[in-house]
Amino acid sequence: MTIEWAAYEADDLYDELVDTRGEPRAAAAALCRYLAEMDEAELAEHRDAAELAIRTMGITFTVYSEEEGSIDRAWPFDIVPRIIPADEWKRIEAGLKQRVKALNMFIDDVYHRQRILKDKIVPRELIVDSRDFRPQCIGAKPPLAVWAHICGTDLVRDKDGTAYVLEDNLRVPSGVSYMLENRQIMKRVFPELFEESVILPVDDYPAQLYDTLAALSRRRTRRPEVVVLTPGIYNSAYFEHAYLAQQMGAELVEGSDLVVGDDDCVYMRTIEGLSRVDVIYRRIDDSFLDPEAFNPDSVLGVPGLMRAWRKGKVGLANAPGSGVADDKVVYTYVPEMIRYYLDEEPILPNVPSWLCVNKADRDYVLANLDKLVVKPANESGGYGMLIGPAATRKEREAFAALIKKNPRNYMAQPMLSLSTAPTLVDRHMEPRHLDLRPFILSGRDTYVTTGGLTRVALRKGSTVVNSSQGGGSKDTWIVDLEGL
């Protein structure tokens, strides 16, 4: 049996590949024709080939559970790509660049003049009460006034086709290695499709990342020494840390491999002695970065690292303190930041939101918990949130108590009808909800990946796309129809 797209049911949702008449969208036409010519057995063979490639390439992620501890699992991947036309992507790319520029200006302002707080565009108490506001960063001057060098911004599309920004990830955003590996898998499984369509590449990301990091070096040298600082093998993103270090030709280090010298420079321990480090791409949170400046019990960081950074002896990406803008409550003010710093209208809209710190908003949220999605300000991975329509009465009552106890920590959004894409389930296609995480590099120039990591909720009806909670991923194709 082959695929009949007219019989594919996406309900009343926006589907990324198929329109409401059951016809393939223009950018997806070649793919849909190709898939329609396959029978169920052929599709299953391609899926098996992808799974074999994942095992052979060793692509894994780590799941934590109370019963079994940490478990490495093969990366869950769907062979049907998500497709976005290049002309639409140009607008999304422009919106992402605009947004990250304003966010970096906001972070720099917070740690210097605080104009946006004095002008009461953003309430001061939201910042000083933020878990990720770092007084230790006040007055610091990172190169180019850029604090968040690597950003992963999550996008969703509602049923009317509008792309919204769901959240910004400015501390240690993860997932880009899976974006790169997804593309390699698809080239192995469907090489002929890359000959028939103009699919914009993503392979240059490691080179772009290295250039962004190298530009942070204050030392005049032909090739700065860049290292990737990882918490270690038990971290859920360790595969990515090792992968990016290997792709950049950088050293993968743990905190115990680094030391700050009497000259306030950072050195790496090697079998030949100490070697100067110019830039650290750190994949550990601020609180563990330097036991002298933050958590004194941390064994993951490097004593004296903040001192070395503030004196300009080492570059850090992302800069400490960037998390002040990686807050789901502060997120709601990004459109105003864009207007304030850039004197422009936001290109990409936020999802409408209610802040529980505001009494009127809080009263509305408490009265409508069965209709809303409620999120804590600083959690990630889909943890700590309430999906109201799917929650029990007991769960909603417990969450109401949490909101009343600490309203600053919660915000709410409507339950969006996330877009879908055809996904291979057993031997046939079914729609599954998805989101998209493009990655933006900021330095002398701003670079946006052509596409990003598409995460898909593999469970029927679920809108939770995180791999740690049953989600998977797809390759993301930006298709240039004019290049055909």
- Summarised one tens digit per residue, pLDDT across range 46-60 is 888 888 888 887 777
Q: What is the pLDDT of residues 463-484, one digit of tens each?
A: 877 766 667 899 999 999 876 5
Asked whether the beta carbons of 420 and 18 are under 8 A apart, the reply is no
The pLDDT score that the predictor gives to residue 113 is 97
What distance in Å separates the CA atoms of residue 52 and residue 74, rounded to the nearest whole number?
10
pLDDT over threshold 90, residue 222? no
The pLDDT score that the predictor gives to residue 66 is 45
Type and span of the H or E element at 387 = strand 386-387
The pLDDT score that the predictor gives to residue 72 is 64
Type and span of the H or E element at 270 = strand 266-270
- Candidates 145, 128, 153; CA nearest to 439 is 153
Asked whether the beta carbons of 22 and 16 are under 8 A apart, the reply is no
- How many degrees, rounded to 5, is the angle at CA 179 between CA 174 and CA 449? 90
Q: Average pLDDT in the 67-78 region?
A: 67
Q: Average pLDDT in the 33-62 region?
A: 84
Local structure of 370: helix, strand or coil:
coil
**What DSSP assignment string belongs to 192-254?**
THHHHS-B---TTHHHHHHHHHHTT--S--SS--EEEE---TTSTTHHHHHHHHHHHT-EEE-
Q: What is the pLDDT of residues 173-201, one digit of tens each?
A: 999 999 999 999 999 989 988 887 889 99
Q: Average pLDDT in the 431-441 region?
A: 95
Asked whether the beta carbons of 165 and 155 are under 8 A apart, the reply is yes
Share above pLDDT 90 across residues of the chain, in percent, rounded to a whole number: 69
What distance in Å separates the CA atoms of residue 284 and residue 292, rounded to the nearest whole number?
16
pLDDT over threshold 70, residue 381? no
Q: Average pLDDT in the 161-168 region?
A: 94
Among 82-86, 439-443, 469-473, the minimum mean pLDDT is found in: 469-473
pLDDT over threshold 70, residue 63? no
Which residues have a Cβ under 8 Å from the Cβ of 138 and sit 6 or more positions away?
111, 112
Tell which wins on pLDDT, 70 or 18: 18
pLDDT over threshold 60, residue 394? yes
Work out the pLDDT band at 342, boundaries 50, 70, 90. Answer: very high
Question: Out of 3.40.50.300, 3.20.20.70, 3.30.1490.270, 3.40.50.620, which CATH number does the structure's domain 354-414 have?
Answer: 3.30.1490.270
- Total length of the chain: 484
Type and span of the H or E element at 87 = helix 86-110
The pLDDT score that the predictor gives to residue 442 is 97
Mean pLDDT value across the chain:
90
What distance in Å separates the CA atoms of residue 110 and residue 133, rounded to the nearest whole number?
9
Type and span of the H or E element at 100 = helix 86-110
What distance in Å separates the CA atoms of residue 22 and residue 34, rounded to the nearest whole number?
16
Q: Average pLDDT in the 430-446 region?
A: 95
Contacts 24+ apart (CB under 8 A), 364-368: 365/403, 365/410, 365/412, 366/400, 366/403, 366/404
Asked whether the beta carbons of 276 and 259 are under 8 A apart, the reply is no
The pLDDT score that the predictor gives to residue 481 is 83
**What DSSP assignment string belongs to 332-357?**
GGHHHHIIIII----SSPBPP-EETT
Angle, helices 205-214/238-248, rounded to nearest 10 degrees:
80
CB atoms within 10 A of CB 76: 16
Q: What is the pLDDT of residues 105-156, one digit of tens each?
A: 999 999 999 999 999 999 999 998 888 999 999 999 999 999 999 999 999 9
Which residues have a Cβ under 8 Å from the Cβ of 163 and sit 6 or more positions away?
92, 155, 156, 157, 348
Beta strands 372-376 and 386-387 are antiparallel
pTM of the model: 0.93
Among 233-237, 319-323, 393-397, 469-473, the minimum mean pLDDT is found in: 469-473
Q: What is the pLDDT of residues 230-262, one digit of tens each?
A: 999 888 889 999 999 999 999 999 999 999 999
The pLDDT score that the predictor gives to residue 210 is 97
Which residues have a Cβ under 8 Å from the Cβ of 17 and sit 6 or more positions away?
24, 25, 28, 31, 32, 80, 82, 83, 421, 422
Residue 230 to residues 142, 227, 299, 301, 456: CA-CA distances in angstroms?
Answer: 21, 10, 12, 9, 27
Q: Average pLDDT in the 383-400 region?
A: 88
Share above pLDDT 70 across residues of the chain, in percent, rounded to a whole number: 94
Q: What is the pLDDT of residues 267-308, one digit of tens each?
A: 999 999 999 999 999 999 999 999 999 999 999 999 999 999
φ/ψ (deg, to 5) at 303: -60, 130
- Candidates 237, 102, 85, 240; CA nearest to 165 is 102
The pLDDT score that the predictor gives to residue 377 is 79
Angle, helices 176-189/40-57, rounded to nearest 10 degrees:
130
The owner of tokens 């309203």 is 407
**What DSSP assignment string belongs to 143-177?**
GGG---SEEEEEEEE-TTS-EEEEEEE-SS---HH
Type and span of the H or E element at 401 = helix 393-405
